[in-house]
Amino acid sequence: MLKKTFTSIALATALGATTAHSVTIEDVEASFYPYKNGGPQAEGLSAGMTINSSNVEQFKDVMDEAIFEQVKNGWLEVKVGETTSFDLHPNYVEATRKGLGQVSLGDQLGQINGFVAGRPFPEEPDASDPRAGEKLAWNFKYGYNWGDNAAIYPFYWKYRDLESGKVERTLKFNFHFLNYKHRVNQDPVPEFADNPSDLFRAIYVQVLEPFDVKNTQLLIHRASDDLKRDNTWLYLGFQRRVRRLSSGQITDSFLGADLMIEDFEGYNGRISDMNWAYKGTKNILLPFYNHNDMELATDLVEKDGYQFVEFGGKGGCYPNITWQLRKVYVLESDPIDDNHPISKRVHYVDAQTFTLPRTLIYDRKGDLWKSWIIGQAHPDHHLEKNKGTGVAIDDAFSMMDVQAGHCTTGQFKGQVDPALNPVKIFTVQNMRAEGR
């Protein structure tokens, strides 16, 4: 571990601080509006068609390796939708414009200078830049993912057997997200004045069902300084006490699911925990769609009539949604800690939203271990309160363990609603109070 860490630091030091360069307004426009003149094209591919085992070879170049193999094997069919623009909130775009030429990487992995708000590095990644991957990682970290604050309220996880399709267990959660700094839209802007721990972000999770894990709670505090460790606490309802998690425990299975805490949102860790490598730009089919236009589930219907994404395919492990051909940055991350349970992740970063709708996870031997789908719904075709927010709504997920023959699926009711996320719930004191 230490050898790898020192090597990484030495490399960054040898390169020196990456200085701010002449990024232009044109770079910003290209970054946020890549489909202004139309979407990408692929021979034979058109909206409305279905890719299955009979024709998948023709479209191998526009699919990631795992989805290609799974379609080839008849595990799922991919329905192609029209490529549409997911415009982020104008305030986030404007913050990016204001920051032009002011942001640079520090000497050390995990250091950034001059950042206030928006997208830190809106320019196209340069394959000759050894730190291009790191810049993409910062764009994700400071992306408009859930905006300034939002909630998944509620959130259903189903544990499924890949072969039989049997749902072994269903958990119901509420998830809450709050950015303390780099805010662009919801008051206070740009940050909370009362932030003594100098936090960037907090995540609070509460289990509502079933009874045996009811009121289990998770709280994550991420410091503004990426070199500082996250503070993570877990409240177990049956123990009725709060305990602090060590850094190694965030890579354990979370509540028996096929994902770990570090997997949340595609990657839920520090920049400084990984080495980052930019592997190129491609046009790839990604799970982007209009929620209200999909064939939705009928077994879980909210009082307001909201319906969740339905699942199908092998084991019921795939969301029944459309996939869009989109511009993608291929980003590889490998852990600095040699004791980490994975060897690497390959993220397919959506170039417009900087969300992580597809991630492939490889075990320590280098074999594919897990396949991660996070469906992205357009906010203007979702709940009424989400219209105009400019947030690409996380709307459905599937984490498939291809080695164990198992998956965990997620059905979201994502709400960009500050009223659901008061600051007081992101505290250890709240965990204790909720646990009484």
The H or E element that residue 430 is part of is helix 428-435
The partner residues of 177 in beta bridges, in order of sequence, read 150, 203
Q: How far is CA 52 from CA 57, 59, 213, in A?
A: 9, 10, 39
- Give the position of tokens 């001059």: 114
pLDDT of residue 4 exceeding 90, the answer is: no
pLDDT of residue 239 exceeding 80, the answer is: no
Mean pLDDT of 405-424: 98
pLDDT of residue 70 exceeding 70, the answer is: yes
Q: What is the pLDDT of residue 21?
A: 57
Of the listed ranges 7-21, 100-114, 138-152, 420-434, the least confidently predicted one is: 7-21
pLDDT > 70: what percent of the chain? 95
Model confidence pLDDT, tens digit, residues 258-294: 999 999 999 999 999 999 999 999 999 999 999 999 9
Q: Is the peptide bond between 122 and the residue preceding it cis, with omega within 30 degrees of 0? A: no
Please report the beta strands in 287-392, taking only residues with DSSP state E, as ranges in sequence order. 288-289, 296-301, 307-309, 311-312, 318-319, 322-335, 342-350, 358-363, 368-377
Q: What is the pLDDT of residue 102?
A: 95
The dihedral formed by the CA atoms of 319, 323, 329 and 332, expressed in degrees to the nearest 10: 30
Q: How far is CA 418 from CA 152, 220, 389, 392, 395, in A?
A: 12, 18, 12, 16, 18
Q: Which domains does the chain have, with CATH numbers?
A: 2-47+86-141 (no CATH), 149-435 (2.50.20.10)
Model confidence pLDDT, tens digit, residues 186-235: 999 999 999 999 999 999 999 999 999 999 999 999 999 999 999 999 99
Work out the pLDDT band at 246, boundaries 50, 70, 90: confident
User: How does the average pLDDT of the chain come out, rounded?
Assistant: 94
Mean pLDDT of 175-191: 97
Work out the pLDDT band at 341, boundaries 50, 70, 90: very high
Mean pLDDT of 409-434: 96
Mean pLDDT of 431-435: 90
Q: What is the pLDDT of residue 249?
A: 87
Q: What is the pLDDT of residue 6?
A: 40
Q: What is the pLDDT of residue 436?
A: 73
CA dist., res. 170 & res. 312, Å (int): 16
Nearest Cα to 189, choosing from 98, 294, 281?
98
pLDDT of residue 107 exceeding 90, the answer is: yes
Mean pLDDT of 4-30: 61
Q: What is the pLDDT of residue 238?
A: 74
CA dist., res. 364 & res. 38, Å (int): 41
> What contacts 24+ positions apart, CB below 8 Å, involve 70-78?
70/314, 70/371, 74/314, 75/313, 75/314, 75/317, 75/318, 76/312, 76/313, 76/314, 76/318, 77/50, 77/51, 77/52, 77/313, 78/50, 78/51, 78/52, 78/285, 78/323
Mean pLDDT of 365-370: 98
pLDDT of residue 22 exceeding 90, the answer is: no
Q: How far is CA 244 from CA 174, 247, 250, 408, 431, in A?
A: 20, 10, 11, 25, 12
Mean pLDDT of 183-188: 96
- With DSSP H G I counted as helix, E B as strand and the rest as coil, what are the percentages for the chain, rounded to 5? 25, 35, 45
Work out the pLDDT band at 13, boundaries 50, 70, 90: very low
